[in-house]
Amino acid sequence: MGLPPVNGTSCLSLYASTKDLLTQAINFYTNVIGLDLHSEDGEKLYLSNEDNKLAIKLIVDAKLSLNSDEIYEKREKLIKLLNVNDWRSLETTVVLKYTKLNQLISTLKTFKQPVQISPNELYPNEVYTVDPLGNIVGFTATENPLSVIPPVEKFISGENITSTIMSTSVSDRSRQDEGVKLRRNIAIMTSGGDAPGMNANVRAVVRAAIFRGCKAFAIMEGYEGLIRGGPKYIKEMSWHDVRGYLTEGGTNIGTARSKDFRERPGRLKACKHMIEAGIDALIVCGGDGSLTGADLFRSEWPSLIKELKDTNQISDHEFNTYKHLTICGTVGSIDNDMSTTDATIGAYSSLDRICRAIDYIDATANSHSRAFVVEVMGRHCGWLALMAGIATSADYILIPEKPSSSRVWEEQMCDIVNKHRAKGKRKTIVIVAEGAITSDLKPISANDVKDVLVNRLGLDTRVTTLGHVQRGGTAVAYDRILATLQGVEAVKAVLDVTPDTPSPLIAIEENKIVRKPLVEAVRITKSVAEAIQNKDFEKAMSLRDSEFTDHLSNFIAMNSASHNEPTLPKEKRKKIAIINIGAPAGGMNSAVYAFATYCMSRGHTPYAIHNGFAGLARHESVRSMDWLEIEGWNSIGGSEIGTNRQTPEDTDVGMIAHYFEKYQFDGLVIVGGFEAFVSLDQLEKARPMYPAFRIPMVLIPATISNNVPGTEYSLGSDTCLNSLMDYCDVIKLSASATRDRAFVIEVQGGNSGYIATFASLISGAQASYVPEEGIALDQLELDIKSLKEAFSVDRGLSKSGKLILKSTNASKVLTTQVLADIMKSESSGEFDVKTAIPGHVQQGGLPSPIDRTRAARFAIKAVQFIESGSDTLKQFKYALDFPSDDRQLQSTAAVLGIKSSHLRFKSIRQLYDFETEIGKRMPKHIHWAKTRDIADQLVGRTRISRP
């Protein structure tokens, strides 16, 4: 079809059978492709590009062209094969030069033209479509204005591509190599009850699949969509189809429970429709029922596909191509009832709704001295009720895992409430899981609880059933992070697994995304409900993860602080102090509350050192803690006992030692950030000179910067991310409303880029600049170019606002305003740039449920650490020659932190001497570096690698 170049111009002849088709071709090549009509000679027309390097001759000739019916049939066939076969394998293809491929893709889709992209939508190298004459026409940004590519080997799912790869940059080629190792057509489905964060999971799966050169599909309406089939229910998803998903609650692709899928004929239909769409991998986001159905589908797949072949519903080629189905699960459930994972997508968002509601109820309950019974979701799992009980200091909770007889729970609840009231508490909060039962499996309703409180205690009692409010709203920061990281890992998993590999479930342990056997996780989860039904409650508790058991015992201990006899004998009771050091962080008050109430339950005397080491040295600011005085601290932001940044050496180490000796402290809990870390180091080093410091000391990291060595999580960082997420969501709405605006947002964090990185992940920011990398001019230039292209493609579309996050210390020269000015100057008028600085808003108001509950867990672990470490130091308390280099003694001054999938204590000596960049106030190892890569991948940002 192509003629040899003449005077540098390439020519292409295309044939139309009628003048009507000729007119359609002219409209296509001029309006859609953007060529100019230059000359007309009867039934021949000439079109060319701006520099006349490409000429297309349109000729009316019925003998050399297809008629309208043939074109229609061919077009429909190509559309049907769009996601199944590479069009280049079907016939000789003409490829034309086109420099702005992203813009062309957008234009073709606007005009409802079928589009096939190679290697993927994120990094398009070639774009193919079908013109009105039935020709497959391709476009590329390479230098040759016209090339003819012969048919390539047919693409078989799961095998490498054997096609002509055009010239690309090194970075693009590496991405292609990553993608073509195993290309699949990956579908994502949300099933069962909706949960906040499901949209973030869908977005991550779609974009991660496209990034790796795979086709991405969404199954609409869950398993019902698979049964109904067709393009209405099985949709190929593009990069931009999931734009804005991060900020939206529920699930945009729908969910429905399907009775038909429970029967084999329904699964047979689903199998056929998946093959028709060319899908060979399915990721299901749902609860245990949805994931059970997915694994059953996979196990039946060989027999289902064989039946389709035997009944001639699929061809031999389709049978051989789709012999195996790959299944992967991500858990979306607000109940957090899936075993082998610490958290499920949506659980912490639901907990956030509950805690906010109870915080509001708490105020009115206190005003009127009322009791409130709050019913929360949880048919077979009491996680929501338990965690809400800890986070809001509830008086009593009822959960299905720990039932008792009607007489016992009624008497126990009334006894606790009565004693709390006798101590001066004006309000009563009882939380009931909807699945709460007695030991003989009789349901306990919120009204049952109300009647007991009214009839036995005479309390003015109200019932609040939160209902589906718990499911609604956008996802909190944690669920956006969890859903995104699990979605990316799920795509990796379906590319890694083989037909012999058990279906994986993407889970989280402490702070690490892991893969677990899906069947085993579902089996254990179902065993809990069976154990409860069989009244084997001890087994039900044993099947819950250890964290659930810890939280329950912690709640019981804290709840009994004011009235029960201490659990330790008098000779083992201690005097333990707590102090806050550094900037305020969400969860500090929660840690103090949990520390004090747990100490009281054990028989220890808790002391609060007010206003840091400076307050102690200058004003002897030591106060013993009273239960009623700290009641309600769990849900208060800031630091009620005060905090400042001064370390012991900044004030007076000798005076601090004097007061430690005066009050005979047996242990110290420090809550704070890097200044607290340095303070612990100074106290440990001062042990040889000051015997008062020869006590167990533990640091609970609490800082929004999350820069304390020895931990991957600090209290306050989740509260900060939620505040910053809300701020960015609002700013993005403003940017989107104007259609052509970007905001540069300044983020706190000192020399740590943790907050900027994760805020970028949860807000979908186009770029983030952090101190660890700085701002290189070539990277900035590339980011501005990407912004121009993005705004050019998105022009006039909704949800088109862009965010750029910059850590305050990312560059001393390129300040937030300077960065915005540069971007605006280089935008060529494509977009406007504004700045936004949230400042200390990032420290948050009320602490998030995660910071409240983790603070309780950490504080209680810290007290237990002090209890176990006292004997180690006892014999050296007043020794003249203190062996400071003894590792066992060094281990009694430690940082309590999360490392990967473990909660552990680590010696301050080891951390300070070997794992810390003191000058930078940072750990040497940056645990979140890979998250930066994921955040960039999911917005299509290309980073320039450094040696």
Q: Please identify every residue annotated as catalytic.
A: 335
Helical H segments across 603-716, by residue range = 612-619, 627-630, 653-663, 674-685
| Nearest residue to 593 via CA among 847, 343, 385, 865 | 847
| Nearest residue to 466 via CA among 395, 360, 363 | 360
The whole-angstrom separation of Cα 750 and Cα 731 is: 23
> What is the distance in angstroms between the CA of the first residue and the CA of the last residue of the chain?
47
Q: Please confirm whether the linkage preceding 151 is cis (ω < 30° from 0).
A: no
Q: In what order do the strands lie in the sheet with 185-190?
A: 234-236, 215-219, 185-190, 281-286, 326-331, 504-509, 512-517
Angle between helices 546-559 and 383-392 (to 10 degrees): 40
The whole-angstrom separation of Cα 905 and Cα 435 is: 37
Q: In what order do the strands lie in the sheet with 371-376?
A: 396-398, 428-433, 371-376, 461-465
**Cβ-count burial of 136 within 10 angstroms (0-12 exposed, 13-18 middle, 19+ buried)?**
buried
**C-alpha distances out from residue 133 to 47, 146, 259, 325, Å:** 15, 19, 45, 38
The whole-angstrom separation of Cα 236 and Cα 57 is: 34
Whether the CB-CB separation of 855 and 750 falls below 8 Å is answered with no
For β-strands 396-398 and 326-331, DSSP reports them as unpaired
The whole-angstrom separation of Cα 261 and Cα 267 is: 5
DSSP, res 104 = H
Helix, strand or coil, per DSSP, at residue 243: coil
The whole-angstrom separation of Cα 692 and Cα 663 is: 10
Helix, strand or coil, per DSSP, at residue 712: coil
Helix, strand or coil, per DSSP, at residue 237: coil
Tokens representing 259? 């009775």
| Nearest residue to 280 via CA among 202, 216, 339 | 216
Tokens representing 660? 């430690």
One-letter amino acid of 935: A
Whether the CB-CB separation of 284 and 249 falls below 8 Å is answered with no
Per the rule left: phi > 0, alpha: psi between -120 and 50, beta: everything else, 302 is alpha
Beta bridge partners of 513: 508
Helix, strand or coil, per DSSP, at residue 811: coil
DSSP, res 943 = P
Tokens representing 30? 């001029």
Tokens representing 886? 């003894």
One-letter amino acid of 603: G
Whether the CB-CB separation of 398 and 436 falls below 8 Å is answered with yes
For residue 884, the tally of other CB atoms under 10 A from its CB is 15
Q: Which residues of 895-913 are buried (b: 16+ CB within 10 A; e: fewer)?
A: bbbbbeeebebbbbbbbbe
One-letter amino acid of 458: G
CA dihedral 823, 825, 830, 832 (to 10 degrees): 70
Task: Check the CA dihedral 103-104-105-108 and report its sign.
Answer: positive
| Nearest residue to 365 via CA among 415, 444, 413, 421 | 421
